Every structure is written in structure tokens, then in C-alpha cells.
Amino acid sequence: MVTPRELKKLAKEHGTPLFVVDHDQLRKNYATFKKYLPRVQAYYAVKANSDPAIVKTLYEAGCSFDVASMPEFEIVHRYIKDMPDKERQDWIWDKIIYANPIKANEALQQLNQYKPLVTYDNYEEIRKIKKHAPQAGLALRLKVPNTGAMVELSSKFGAAPGEAVDLIFAADKAGLTVEGLSFHVGSQTTNFGNYAAAINLAANVFKEAQDRGYTKMFLLDIGGGFPAPYDDSVRPFRELAKVINRELDRLFPKKIQILAEPGRFLVATAATAVSKIIGKAVRDGKLCYYINDGVYHTFSGVIFDHCQYHLKSFKRGPTQVCSVFGPTCDALDVVSLVEQLPPDLKLGDFLYSENIGAYSHASSTWFNGFPPAKVVHINL
């Protein structure tokens, strides 16, 4: 992981706000995922951070990709088109999944030529896929418990277990092939029981489909939600993997392919943000720092991802509770109301925030005319 000394040097060299991506950490996170879930093929959720250099590093490490829009698809596709002929010939299009259950007709029309694997969870989507992407393979997304997840998803997506097999047969009747099932237990899931419950639910749907005569399914996509170690309250990944491996081995024979869509777990700890103090004031007796990054930029996860990122100073010494605000004139631009920082920081001093690689820079805007942070890649 990049050291504070290296961060400070990069900030002086490149200016701030700065977003530093450590590719050694990316490779380490992917290796950890494969070590503890050897049966599972990882499809990186590009939405977590769509920087093409991150896609490249993970592809070279052996990763596949989960995309949820055509722009994300094109990020992966552009990289593949630029490969040498031999590498491009080795690419298999079933190593990419379009995992947004609700797709625009235009996206389906563009996808059809690639014979993609796509998810669905309702009858209307079957009709759309049949009309606009009849060459696609399907994975039915199930509604599963999201208890304890930082971001709940089952209220928006997922077929009820009771209608799952009917949806499989409806797709089959339309001339489409349902290749398997998928689910998502919610983002940053620290309740490991969610995975056990979801895998058991999926196994029951597999069995019901087989009992009713549908035998074409050969894959299970266990989705994302793998928690990043933001703090000590998050149990080690190996403990979650033990739960998942036990249930997979108990309920799904080896012939069933297992997919997953890790996003946050792969990229969160691989990036650090560095910002500069541009203002300082005392309001109602509380020290306030203003920095040149905020919730419309790298700290967008405070709003969109329900995530709290902590800031650190490069200076040592006593600290006190402070507020930290972003640079825009919007009162929403609050990075944190409770940060422990030295009271003697000056304008021009740097702050940094670790573990900010996921759902952060990917959501940056140009609101108020302030540009997103500059991205610097190290250890490529």
C-alpha cells in the first residue's frame, strides 16, 4: 500500500485533489479473492470504478467483467480491441456478463451480436430480450435477503422465489435459454448469513426447475456485496469465504459454474485521495476545514454509497473534533462533521483518505465548475 510519505510527494508533484490508484493492491485483492474462493470466477463490477487502467490490470490478472451499461461495456471492449491478435483471439465473450436486470432496447440491440449473458427478473424483460437480443443467454435474478447490507438492492431487483420457475419456463417458451440463476445480497454485506440464505434459496429454485423438467441451467452467479475492510468491524474475507464454500460444495455439484461480481472488495483499498486545505473557520465554537475535494467529486460515496470516509493529516500531534467541507457553495457538500484532526493545520496543508477506491471517483461531476480529482496510477 502506498505510504503517507509517497502520497505527500505525489501531491506536491501532481497537485490536488489527487486520486492515487495502487495496482499492486488491485492484484493483491484479486489474488485474495481467488485464494479463498477457488471455485468462483470473479467478474469485476466495472461500476465500482471504471478507469480503463483498472480494467486492464484486472483482466491481465485473470478477471472477467460485470457491466451494467453500454458505456461500461465499451470500456472493456475498447481494451480488448487494442490487444494483440493472439490475445484477442483468446477472449471468450462468455467472460462478460451484462448484469443489469432492466435494459434499454437500444442496449439489447447493440449487445445481441456478442451473444451475451444477461440477467432478467420479470416477464416484460423476456419480451424485450426476445425482440432485441434473441442470441443472448439469460440468468434469472432472484430476490434474496439483504439484511445488514450498507446498500439494499432487493427492493429494486429480483424475482420472488415463488415465481422464479414460472419465469424460467416463460423465457424457454419464448425460445430463449436460461443458463442459470443470479442474486445480490446487497452492497458491503457484513451479515454473512445473507450468502448462506441466498445460496440455499437458489438451490431450491434449481431443484424445482429440474423437477418440473427444465435441465438447461449450468451456472450460479452469487453477485457482489463482498465487504471491503473499511475498519476493524468487518470480519476477514476468509471467514465469509468459508461460509460460501461450505454452502456451494454442499448444494451445487462441481459441474455447476460459479460466478461472482466483486466490485468494492477488489478496488476499495486500492485507492487513496489527497486533498488540500483551502479554508479554515470556527463556527459555533467548532473548527471547520474546507478542502478542494468533496461529495460532488471523490467523496461522492458519502451521498451515493452511504459510506463515511475518514481523513488523516500528514502532521502528528494532538487532535480535536472538526468538520470538513468540500469546495462548492452547496450546503450538501459535507465530507464529515466528526473528524479528529490537528487544530493547527494551515491553508495549503494536505489531508488524505484511504480505502476510497470504490463508488467514489466513478461518480465525480463538474458541479460548480470544480473538476474531478486527477488520477495517478502507481505500480502498473
- Average pLDDT of the segment spanning 92-111: 87
CA nearest 304: which of 262, 260, 358? 358
Is pLDDT above 70 for 52? yes
pLDDT band for 186, please (50, 70, 90 cuts). Answer: confident
Is pLDDT above 80 for 147? no
127 with 167: CB under 8 angstroms? no
Among the residue ranges 4-13, 155-164, 170-179, 342-351, the one predicted with the least confidence is 155-164
224 with 261: CB under 8 angstroms? yes
Residues 320, 315: Cα–Cα separation, whole Å:
13
Chain centroid to CA 20: how far?
A: 18
Domains and CATH numbers, the chain: 4-17+269-378 (2.40.37.10), 23-268 (3.20.20.10)
pLDDT at residue 156, rounded to an integer = 80
| Helices 23-36, 52-61: crossing angle, 10 deg rounding | 40
Among the residue ranges 107-111, 112-116, 351-355, the one predicted with the least confidence is 112-116
142 with 163: CB under 8 angstroms? no
**Beta strands 187-189 and 177-183: pairing type?**
unpaired
Please give the grid coordinates belonging to residue 343: 487544530
Tell me which DSSP letter residue 159 carries.
Answer: B
**145 φ/ψ sector (left φ>0, alpha ψ -120 to 50, else beta):** beta
pLDDT band for 89, please (50, 70, 90 cuts). Answer: very low
Please give the grid coordinates belonging to residue 174: 419464448
- Average pLDDT of the segment spanning 150-168: 85
- Is 63 catalytic? The answer is no
Is pLDDT above 80 for 343? yes
Is pLDDT above 80 for 81? no
pLDDT at residue 92, rounded to an integer = 47
Residues 305, 85: Cα–Cα separation, whole Å:
39
Residues 10, 276: Cα–Cα separation, whole Å:
13
- Average pLDDT of the segment spanning 93-116: 89
The one-letter amino acid at 117: L
10 with 20: CB under 8 angstroms? yes
Among 63, 288, 307, 329, the one annotated catalytic: 329
Alpha-carbon distance values, 40 to 46, 70, 152, 270, 284 (Å): 18, 25, 23, 22, 53
Phi, psi of 324, deg, nearest 5: -130, 125
Give the count of beta carbons closer than 10 Å to the beta carbon of residue 266.
Answer: 31
What is the value of pTM for the model shown?
A: 0.93
Tell me which DSSP letter residue 94 carries.
Answer: G
Residues 158, 140: Cα–Cα separation, whole Å:
8
Is pLDDT above 60 for 11? yes
- Helix and strand numbers (H, E) in the chain are 12, 18
pLDDT at residue 95, rounded to an integer = 79
Is pLDDT above 70 for 151? no
**Beta strands 257-260 and 219-221: pairing type?**
parallel
- Give the E-state strand segments of 85-134 in sequence order: 96-98, 117-120
Is pLDDT above 90 for 197? yes
